[in-house]
């Protein structure tokens, strides 16, 4: 997730909440702060993608907003959807198991850098859903 977004040069002199804003000032939308507003996002520092199932929870504006939002938004979202759908259609993903066969519950925590929120690596297992799926994967790789 982006931490900031260059949105516009302010079109006129103005004042906002006691701040003087001169014409031509670059205004940065603070996506990081917007996505952590506890009025909209309960426990905002907790990694919880399920929070977005509720239609009352606004989507964080990771692609910006208004006329200057990222023109690649539809390409990016469609590419991610297709990739996820293809992976889920041929693989089964599951938690790793220890030597006694018990599931290992991964510790999923965020890792930040200057631009995006990432997840720290965690172990999991995946396998093809069937022999037919395995053959489909092999044929796609060999093409």
Binding residues: 70
Give residue 44's region: left, alpha or beta (phi > 0; psi -120 to 50). alpha
Distance of CA 98 to the CA centre of its chain: 30
Binding residues for heme: 70
Determine the straight-line distance between the first and last CA of the chain, rounded to whole angstroms.
Answer: 34
Q: Phi and psi of 118, rounded to 5°?
A: -120, 165
Measured distance CA(58)–CA(142) in Å, rounded: 43
């Amino acid at each position: 997730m982006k931490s900031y977004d260059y949105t516009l040069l302010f079109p006129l002199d103005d004042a906002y909440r006691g701040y003087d804003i001169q014409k031509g000032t670059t205004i940065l939308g603070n996506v990081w702060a917007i996505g952590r507003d506890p009025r909209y996002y309960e426990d905002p520092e907790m990694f919880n993608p399920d929070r977005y199932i509720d239609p009352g929870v606004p989507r964080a504006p990771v692609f910006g907003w208004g006329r200057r939002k990222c023109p690649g938004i539809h390409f990016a979202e469609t590419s991610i959807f297709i990739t996820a759908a293809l992976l889920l259609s041929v693989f089964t993903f599951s938690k790793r198991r220890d030597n006694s066969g018990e599931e290992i519950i991964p510790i999923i925590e965020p890792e930040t850098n200057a631009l995006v929120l990432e997840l720290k690596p965690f172990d999991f297992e995946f396998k093809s859903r069937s022999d037919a799926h395995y053959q489909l994967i092999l044929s796609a790789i060999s093409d």
